Amino acid sequence: MVPKFHGEIGSDGRIHLHEIYQKRFNIYLESFQPKTLVYVTIERAGKNQARSDKQNNYYWGVVIELARNFCGYTKDEMHDAFGMMFRKMEAVDGVPTIRSTSTMSTTEFNQYVEDCKQFAAVELGVYIPDPNEVDTKGGSFL
């Protein structure tokens, strides 16, 4: 899996990675030997339409369900734990809070789900199947 690091092009014309991605990017770079040749690809983030019902069903029915079963959490506790790790903090009336997934675009939500799946695989040893490997209505493996 090739990691993706999210950021923005600043008014200075430079790439500015979001804080959490900058840290991960630096760690990823350290995994290469000095003078290793690499490719750098930049792509537009995509549409700003809201996450879909299919994405949401997959997230709650598969990603959250498998991770929470391993951890012994309720669905809401697992959702909150992933939120603390991967959802950007925003200030609402000066009070920091966790960003709601309902405000994410399809692209942002896909990245969030991938971050959750990668954490589950690496840190918990839990394989979370891709959407095409499960029936999200019944939650069963195909």
DSSP characters over 6-59: -EEE-TTS-EEE-HHHHHHHHHHHHTSPTT-------------PBPPHHHHHHI
Q: Specify the 3-state DSSP secondary structure of 5.
A: coil
Q: At residue 59, does pLDDT exceed 90? A: yes
| φ and ψ of 91, to 5 deg | -90, 120
The encoded tokens of residue 136 equal: 């999200």
Q: Under DSSP, is residue 75 helix (H, G, I), strand (E, B) or coil?
A: helix
Helix (H) or strand (E) holding 88: none
Name the amino acid, one letter, at 36: T
Tokens 């909150």 correspond to 80
**Residue 139 — very low, low, confident or very high, per pLDDT cuts 50/70/90?**
very low
Q: How many other β-carbons are positioned within 10 Å of the β-carbon of residue 74?
A: 11
Q: Backbone phi, then psi, for 8, in 5-degree steps?
A: -140, 155
Average pLDDT, the chain: 84
User: In this predicted structure, what is the pLDDT of residue 131?
Assistant: 87
Q: What is the reported pTM?
A: 0.60
Structure tokens at 13: 């014309």
